[in-house]
Amino acid sequence: MNAPFISTRRDILRYGAAGGALIIAAPLGACSRAAKDAPFIEPPSLQWFEGAVGPFIVIKADETIEMGFPNPDMGQGVDTALPMLVAEELEVDFDKVKTVQMPLGIKMGDDGNMTWKHVPQGSGGSTSIPENWEVLRQAGALARGLLVSAAAVRFGVPAEELTVAKGVVTHEASGRSATYGALAEAAGSIAPPDAPPALKPREAFTIIGTPQKMKNARAIVTGRAIYGIDAALPGMLHAVMERCPYFDGTAISVDDSAARAVPGVVDVVKVRRPPLGEPYDVQAEGYAVVATSLWAAMKGRRALNIEWDHGPYADESSASFKRHCADLLAGTGQIVRDDGDFDAAFAGAAETYEATYWEPYVSHAPLEPQNALADVREDGVTIIAPTQTPSSCNRMVAEALQRERLDIEVLPTRLGGGFGRRLSNDYAVEAALISQTVKAPVKLLWTREDDLRHDFYRPAGMHHLKAAFDADGKLTGWTHRLASASKYYRRPNLPESEYWTSEFWDDDFPANIAENYRLEYFSARSGAPRGSWRAPAHTANAFVVQSFLNEIAHQRGEDPLGFRLRLLGDPRDIPYKNHGGPVFNPGRLAACLRLAAEKGGYGETMPKGRGRGIAGHFTFGGYCAQVVDVEVGEDGRLKTTRVVAAVDIGTVVNPNGVVAQLESGVNDGLSTALRLAIEVDGGRVTTGNFDTYPLMKIADAPPVIETHIIDNGDAPSGMGEMGIPPLAPALAHAIFEATGKRIRTLPIADQLRG
Amino acid sequence: MPRFKVNGRRVDYSGDPDMPLLWFLRDEQGLKGVKFGCGAALCGACTVHVNGEAVRSCVTPMASVEGASVTTIEGLSDGDTLHPVQEAWLEEDVPQCGYCQAGQIMAVAAFLEKTPNPTDADIDDGLTNICRCGTYHRLRKAVHRAAAMRGGRSS
């Protein structure tokens, strides 16, 4: 990784003493105002920021050690894994460390553009660990160096004679020692070192690589963890909002008289939609009912009488969109990658194969519905919200309100799930626009129906794959033709010719392995908003590519594992310019496949009605293979009985967190493959709640999930997404082995019945 | 005017009898551990105990809790001494985002009163709360652990 040394120049990483505490931080500036002047209701995650204390590390005289984690935690465990990086170098007992979400820190850079005040603070793309791997260890090392220097001064001995362990600095020759708490204030006045602090070699790690439980678990199991939905400000009003259900529709008439008559309702505020085809700030036109209580706002919303125009996509349905994709695939699309001569390879092949697959729109459906608390004032703006991208939230709110970005403080809370939904900050913009109008702090809450009907869905699409093999069994040609509704629709300044870049990772396997390799894209028209859904494009494409491999192997009479291993070939670095690069090593994926196969007993003969499948995929720098066991009853009832996974993400920071994320990916992949699809009819989403969007319950979850980790010492990559992509194709393979039925359409739903 | 108990404390309510208990607990009692997930009794994030039974407070009107005893996640532990289900959750390190977990714990606490020694099939039939993060694997282990900690008895 190329993360820069944390400069000890005080404009980048400040430290100092305050109230007897050593603070390795930057002063919070804008963020201190809200904490001081506007107490929240029971906000343990925010009280910490009172005064000018800051992120990363606070060591107090009473030996309390607190660490800020920069990236929002949505369940992926950065509240634990990131402070582990700091604690490793700081040499403290990790059990005693308290961890706290950092507020957003941005500043005006020397070039006049906004930049990070500390480190990047988004959670997405499995980047939190790799981006912070160097910088947070450096923060810990810097703090340790200052504490050692303070001890050296106190003891009157050279710093080289001191040792450090578990928050105590010791001079063994004289038997003297001092705790970090006792040294903290003095350490805050020590001059910065001239050179970057040396980081520990891997062999010396005592915290990194050890399984650590989630730091906030106790707050969660006692109901004290604070999410966005729980935040409050004095004088806060509540809002709920009726949005146009039709894609890009608008109101024809609005009668809000009955809503305004509901006791407690103080206003009804129109929120405009963005112009057609323009980037989303909010998603849809809506009418927010603002009241003194949430219940009054909800009753007021029910009393609204709005007639909606059905918008420019009034004829769109799930079926019409699927037909549209099939029609597109019948023609010729945009050739976006064309290695060699696929047509010639196909024409001259000894054997050819092809198959077509369909994947629907799916929703993120985090269990905490969207919400935001906005306080738009003359002197500034405060946004408290569950967001994966607090900086983007800041920018979008600034643009919507026509305010300076530095006037807007963003306090991300813990997220009740993200999955990519909260990369978009439309709900925060809505809250800000409403607060601006009513001139009071406003807490906006979405219902579940709002969430499922106004998501930025995982793009739906139809995939057509063809492969060519020569007489020696060598893969000579491969094409992937995809008609989908790109998530890059409505990106600022992005021509349609670039829409494919969000739907294909064009260096994915078997690119650079199949000599004649072609990707062909068809940009489909749909009114449904689209966005990034956990492991974007990877979940969709791994299903079809890995399923196709299993189909080809079966038709060729080859074992699907051996077939994959011979296509992957020897370990070597293949250039990979997409996110997760710069290289893809097929040997690492092969090693995962072999390990999962070995641990999962792949290849054993299964009894009737049972099947075992396999798949593997490279996602954002991480390699993962899974062996899935299923049992299919004579009535078609499907039970996933076991998943065995092997993962390689380089150096592992928190093995317990890696296992948790793998389990999460398996269950997310399974839930989505089993029953999930967003249905569209008449230009609107008709799916409404968990009865029609049945997220998986425990009865369908595999009772056994095994995770086997290959820790090869390489630089770490992230774990939040790579557990999902192999699941659906391995599941489909297992179903085929059990029943002889190929799943080429997701979700599986009732395809196994009858 | 319904009078009832919340976590052992007497409360009065004089507002809209149709308002779901969820909003009373969250917005009027400040018991934010009770979570809103669906508003239609489909996910269980809002699960509380009413007279010892697990109910989904998002569809429980205030009019129906007259005279009842309501317990939320905040009232489940005995001071700092956690309920066995909470302890088991920590031992198995169940939570990820954690949003559903208070509801899960309340559902499991009531479930174990009736099914003190659950089989996996009992768990499949009896536990229907949704966890979007997919912590089911650890959750199942934690249910068995909690059952063992309770000694297989109803309290």
Selected residue of A73, A299, A698 to mutate for chain B interface (largest B Cβ count, 10 A): A698
Contact yes or no for B40 and A666 at CB 8 A: no
Residues A388 and A471 in one domain: no
d(CA A61, nearest CA chain B) in Å: 26
Is pLDDT larger for residue A12 or for residue A653?
A653
The pLDDT confidence band at residue A28, using thresholds 50, 70 and 90, is: very low
In this structure, the number of other CB atoms found within 10 A of the CB of residue A333 comes to 17
Contact yes or no for A293 and B101 at CB 8 A: no
Side-chain half-sphere exposure of A570, counting CA atoms within 13 A = 1
Residue type, A414: R
pLDDT, tens digit (0-9, with 9 covering 90-100), for A346-367: 999 999 999 999 999 999 999 9
d(CA B67, nearest CA chain A) in Å: 22
Residue type, B42: L
Query: How many domains would you assign to chain A?
Result: 3
The pLDDT confidence band at residue A23, using thresholds 50, 70 and 90, is: low
Contact yes or no for B130 and A220 at CB 8 A: no
The region that residue A602 occupies, defined by phi over 0 for left and psi between -120 and 50 for alpha, beta otherwise, is: beta
Q: Of B19, B97, B134, which is closest to A415 when you measure between CB atoms? A: B97
Residues 413-452 of A with CB under 8 A from B: 414-419, 445, 447-448
Residue B135's pLDDT is 98
Does residue A5 sit within a domain?
no
Does residue A121 sit within a domain?
yes
How distant, in Å, are the alpha carbons of A106, A388, A407 from that of A46?
18, 17, 19
pLDDT, tens digit (0-9, with 9 covering 90-100), for A239-259: 999 999 999 999 999 999 999
Residues of A whose CB is below 8 A from B82: 221-222
Residues A202 and A337 in one domain: no
Residues A433 and A463 in one domain: no
Residues A200 and A178 in one domain: yes
- Whether omega before A747 lies within 30 degrees of 0, making that bond cis, reads yes
Q: Of B16, B42, B129, which is closest to A691 when you measure between CB atoms? A: B42
Residue A24's pLDDT is 52
Considering A390, A411, A445, which residue would you say is the last residue of a domain? A445
How distant, in Å, are the alpha carbons of A78, A158, A296 from that of B58?
31, 65, 15
Q: Which residue of B has its CA nearest to A706?
A: B137
Contact yes or no for A230 and B32 at CB 8 A: yes
Residues A382 and A463 in one domain: no
Residue type, A700: D
A111 vs A115: CA distance, rounded Å: 10
Selected residue of B136, B138, B149 to mutate for chain A interface (largest A Cβ count, 10 A): B136
The pLDDT confidence band at residue B19, using thresholds 50, 70 and 90, is: very high
Does residue A641 sit within a domain?
yes
Does residue A526 sit within a domain?
yes
Q: Which residue of B has its CA nearest to A418?
A: B97
Contact yes or no for A667 and B137 at CB 8 A: yes
Side-chain half-sphere exposure of A405, counting CA atoms within 13 A = 19
- Walk across the sheet containing A442-445 and list its strands: A265-271, A286-291, A237-243, A442-445, A371-377, A380-385, A408-412
Contact yes or no for A216 and B132 at CB 8 A: no
pLDDT, tens digit (0-9, with 9 covering 90-100), for A608-635: 999 999 999 999 999 999 999 999 999 9
Domains of chain B are 3-75 (3.10.20.30), 84-149 (1.10.150.120)
Residues A581 and A560 in one domain: yes
> Quick one: which of A563, A549, A645, A551 has its CA closest to A596?
A645
Does residue A452 sit within a domain?
no
Q: Of A217, A663, A695, which is closest to B90 when you measure between CB atoms? A: A217
In this structure, the number of other CB atoms found within 10 A of the CB of residue B154 comes to 9
In this structure, the number of other CB atoms found within 10 A of the CB of residue A111 comes to 7
Residue A60 has pLDDT above 90, yes or no: no
Q: Of B35, B90, B137, which is closest to A221 when you measure between CB atoms? A: B90
Please give the structure tokens belonging to residue A168. Answer: 């105590």
Q: Does A666 touch chain B (CB under 8 A)?
A: yes
Q: Kindly report the CATH number assigned to the domain that includes residue A467.
A: 3.30.365.10
Q: Of A41, A365, A656, which is closest to B93 when you measure between CB atoms? A: A656
Does residue A750 sit within a domain?
no
Q: Is A2 exposed, middle or buried (0-12, 13-18, 19+ CB in 10 A)?
A: exposed
d(CA B21, nearest CA chain A) in Å: 11
Residues A104 and A238 in one domain: no
Provide the sign of the torsion angle of the four alpha carbons A692, A694, A699, A700, taken in this order.
positive
The pLDDT confidence band at residue A142, using thresholds 50, 70 and 90, is: confident
* pLDDT, averaged across chain A: 91
d(CA A239, nearest CA chain B) in Å: 13
A–B interface: beta-carbon pairs under 8 A: 181
Selected residue of B7, B99, B104, B106 to mutate for chain A interface (largest A Cβ count, 10 A): B99
Q: Which residue of B has its CA nearest to A43?
A: B32
Residues A292 and A200 in one domain: no
A464's CB contacts (< 8 A; 6+ apart) are: A329, A354, A355, A356, A480, A481, A482
Residues A250 and A399 in one domain: yes
Please give the structure tokens belonging to residue A142. Answer: 């810097």
Please give the structure tokens belonging to residue A336. Answer: 């976006």
pLDDT, tens digit (0-9, with 9 covering 90-100), for A412-448: 999 999 999 999 999 999 999 999 999 999 999 999 9
Q: Does A455 touch chain B (CB under 8 A)?
A: no
Considering A200, A221, A242, which residue would you say is the last residue of a domain? A221
Q: Which residue of A has its CA nearest to B19?
A: A295
Q: Which residue of B has its CA nearest to A413?
A: B97
Contact yes or no for A367 and B86 at CB 8 A: no
A26: containing domain: 15-221
Task: Please state the separation of Cα A75 from the chain's center in Å.
Answer: 10
pLDDT, tens digit (0-9, with 9 covering 90-100), for B44-91: 999 999 999 999 999 999 999 999 999 999 999 998 899 999 999 999
Does residue A9 sit within a domain?
no
Angle ∠(A588,A591,A595) on CA atoms, nearest 5: 145
Q: Name the pTM for this structure.
A: 0.94
Residues 532-551 of A with CB under 8 A from B: none
Contact yes or no for A365 and B134 at CB 8 A: no
Contact yes or no for B135 and A664 at CB 8 A: yes
Residues 240-269 of A with CB under 8 A from B: none
Residue type, A420: G
The pLDDT > 90 percentage for chain A reads 82
Residues A554 and A599 in one domain: yes
- Whether omega before B61 lies within 30 degrees of 0, making that bond cis, reads no
ipTM above 0.90, yes or no: yes
Residues A268 and A385 in one domain: yes
Residues of B whose CB is below 8 A from A367: 35, 37, 43, 45, 97, 99-100, 130-132
Considering A190, A221, A252, which residue would you say is the last residue of a domain? A221
Contact yes or no for B40 and A448 at CB 8 A: yes
Residues A277 and A393 in one domain: yes
Range with lowest mean pLDDT among A40-44, A643-647, B12-16: A40-44
Does residue A754 sit within a domain?
no
Q: Does A689 touch chain B (CB under 8 A)?
A: yes
